[in-house]
Amino acid sequence: MTKLILSTGNIVSGGPSIIRKPGAFRSNLELTNSLRSNFVAAQEDAAAELDARGATNGNGDTNGSGDSVDSDAETGTPRRVPTTAWTGRGQNGALYVPRIHWDHDHHQGLQEERAQYDITVKLFFLPGAPVSERSRYAREALEHVLQELRVPEVDLLIVSFPGMSFEGDCEWEADRKNAVQGNDEDEIATWPAIEELHRLSLAKRLGLAEFGSEKLARFLSKAQVRPTVNQINLKNCCNVPPPLAQLAKEQGIELLVHSDCTDILPKGTLRELLGPGPRGAAILADSETGAGGLQGDLTPLWVVKYTAVVRDRGVIESKGYFAGAELADE
């Protein structure tokens, strides 16, 4: 079994971005495009280092050890450098794609004092991942964000469970459909692990995503540490369902709107990102020939999205994603 940790790095380019209302740019596209860009950038940096050390012969044919180092300036295909040159093993044994230099001086985290930021983290538990491991996934995902930003805690941790959505021809239909989605038992069984992160002061507030009025009422009746936020997607509905608005008001829960994709990292998309194809990272072996790369059944486990906003200026200084996956030996 090989554990994989994928990262985008800070996807805010050209300095902090002004916060804008959620638009049509959904998180699955943002995630996959950002991962791919980070992989390409890491490979290009590694290729430049190999060139500087004289590891290539100048024609891009070999790195001296027989590994392919392909370069195609016309098509923009990423240069193929040895996987070991741009990925790395962490202390936890996981393969980091790409390698993260947390111990280097240039990794400074946030630019200002922690008190100047509102930091929101959204954790997606993915379908196909064992429910029994969610406690480990939650701690692992949050620790990566804390290490990336170099902060001791986050302000808000929102949890997104698989099989949940908020879609319908009207707000009443969306609320009705939502009532039978997901798995109440699994969600309640998972919540103590999230509550523990709050008790450890790693997350000041907790939140849920995609909970309609009936789902939320059932959840609140069993949670010890109650969520203070409920995030819903109103892309097909113009209004919050009145029963949900009333329940949120009575229980002191803040309703937030988002534009995230509930199916944020499908198995096929992840295999394409890491595969040997023209836009892949060549981490995985060719499924037909078995040549090069790792082999096995790939399962996406979790995705975590983080956003650090400078309070007094209303700008996003840091935003990015981590994703966890496992590759089972065949």
Cβ-based burial of 114 (10 A; exposed 0-12, middle 13-18, buried ≥19): middle
**Digit-coded pLDDT (tens) for 59-75:** 444 333 334 444 444 44
Within 13 Å of residue 9, how many CA atoms lie on the same side as its CB? 19
User: What one-letter code names the amino acid at 267?
Assistant: K
Provide the token pair at 50.
């190999």
* Res. 6: pLDDT tops 90: yes
Confidence of residue 306 (pLDDT cuts 50, 70, 90): very high
- DSSP state, residue 285: P
- Tokens 């009145």 belong to 242
Could you tell me which of 79, 96, 76 has the C-alpha nearest to residue 87? 96
Q: How far is CA 136 from CA 148, 157, 247, 272, 322, in A?
A: 18, 15, 32, 26, 15
Residues of the chain above pLDDT 90, percent: 64
Could you tell me which of 309, 317, 310, 304 has the C-alpha nearest to residue 13? 317
Of 64-73, 80-89, 209-218, 254-263, the range with the highest mean pLDDT is 209-218
Cis preceding-peptide flag for 243 (omega within 30 of 0): no
- Diameter of the chain measured on Cα atoms: 70
CB 151 within 8 A of CB 112: no
Of 53-62, 205-214, 259-268, the range with the highest mean pLDDT is 205-214
Alpha-carbon dihedral of residues 276, 282, 287, 288, nearest 10 degrees?
A: 50
Please state which of the ranges 135-149, 180-194, 206-220, 272-286 shows the lowest mean pLDDT. Answer: 272-286
Please state which of the ranges 38-42, 104-108, 263-267, 314-318 shows the lowest mean pLDDT. Answer: 104-108
- Tokens 């698989």 belong to 162
**H or E element: which one contains 86?**
helix 83-86
Give the Cβ contact number of residue 329 at 10 Å: 9
pLDDT value for 75: 46
**Digit-coded pLDDT (tens) for 195-223:** 999 999 999 999 999 999 999 999 999 99
Residues 6+ apart with CB under 8 A from 168: 174, 175, 176, 177, 236, 237
d(CA 256, CA 245): 11
**Digit-coded pLDDT (tens) for 129-173:** 999 999 999 999 999 999 999 999 999 999 999 999 888 778 888
Give the Cβ contact number of residue 203 at 10 Å: 26
Residues 6+ apart with CB under 8 A from 99: 42, 86, 87, 88
* Res. 235: pLDDT tops 80: no
d(CA 306, CA 170): 30
Phi, psi of 207 (to 5 degrees): -145, 165
Give the Cβ contact number of residue 199 at 10 Å: 11
**Digit-coded pLDDT (tens) for 103-125:** 766 667 899 999 999 999 999 99
User: What one-letter code names the amino acid at 133?
Assistant: E
Could you tell me which of 300, 293, 311 has the C-alpha nearest to residue 266? 300
* Res. 47: pLDDT tops 70: yes
pLDDT value for 186: 97
